Amino acid sequence: MHLIRSASFEEYVRWYLARERRKLGMPEDAAGRAWHSVLSEMRRVHPDKLRPWFEDAQWLIVSLDAFAEAESLVCVDSPETRRIGLVAESGPDNRLMRTVVAEANETGYFQDLEVCRSNSIELHFRQERIESYRRNWPGLREGERLSICTMNDDEQAANPGGSYYLHDGFGRLLPYLYLIMYESASWRPVEAFLAEEPWP
């Protein structure tokens, strides 16, 4: 991993909201809005993308230069990741990205033929993303970068092999690593916001 440049909490928030607007086909107006308005929207609409200490964190933009740095990130533990079979019920390092990608391969997460016959937007989006990656191998940089942060005590205890928590970008990184691990795609360094928790 190497440092690209310093960043800030405000830059992260504006970046995140602009990205969400792009996904919805809306104008990216966060850059021209007052900070209090932007922060209020983030807290109201996307509280799960904030941690209590984020405003006091040291923010950086870094490059994950080695594959091992990406596969050691710890993904979200949620009813959704458990429901779709990507996070096992228990066991050390069950949320490391390398473990989750292996589960995706084991369960046929990206090969489920029922997706083609399903009306689920979620399932079709999953397939469309990996197919788009196969057609045009992405660079996870700038607007597509990840967001990672210091793990909390529970995350560290349950995932001793982990490096940082993958705060945003799970849906981008999962197919990216899958294609590298199982379809011989080439690794390219990945860019990320890094929030480091301040010492008490």
Instruction: Identify whether 102 is part of a domain.
Output: yes
Percentage of the chain exceeding pLDDT 90: 65
* Pairing mode of beta strands 146-149, 190-196: parallel
pLDDT at 28: 65
Q: Domain range holding 161? A: 2-6+59-196
Q: pLDDT tens-digit profile of 17-70?
A: 999 988 877 766 656 789 999 999 999 999 999 999 999 999 999 999 999 999
Q: pLDDT grade, residue 112 (50/70/90)?
A: low
Tell which wins on pLDDT, 47 or 118: 47
pLDDT at 123: 61
- pLDDT tops 60 at residue 191: yes
CA distances from 198 to 1, 19, 103, 106, 191 (A): 20, 27, 34, 39, 22
Tell which wins on pLDDT, 139 or 96: 96
Q: pLDDT tens-digit profile of 122-173?
A: 665 677 888 899 999 988 999 899 999 999 999 999 999 999 999 999 989 9
Instruction: Identify whether 178 is part of a domain.
Output: yes
Instruction: Identify whether 51 is part of a domain.
Output: no
Instruction: Identify whether 91 is part of a domain.
Output: yes
Rounded to a whole number, what is the largest CA-CA distance in the chain? 52
Instruction: Identify whether 66 is part of a domain.
Output: yes
Instruction: Identify whether 48 is part of a domain.
Output: no
- pLDDT tops 60 at residue 113: no
Tell which wins on pLDDT, 97 or 118: 97
pLDDT at 200: 74
Nearest to 16 by CA among 191, 114, 147, 133: 147
pLDDT at 124: 58
The residue-averaged pLDDT of 80-94 equals 78
Instruction: Identify whether 131 is part of a domain.
Output: yes
Tell which wins on pLDDT, 120 or 175: 175
Instruction: Identify whether 159 is part of a domain.
Output: yes
The domain total for the chain is 1
Q: Do 147 and 169 contact (CB within 8 A), yes or no? A: yes
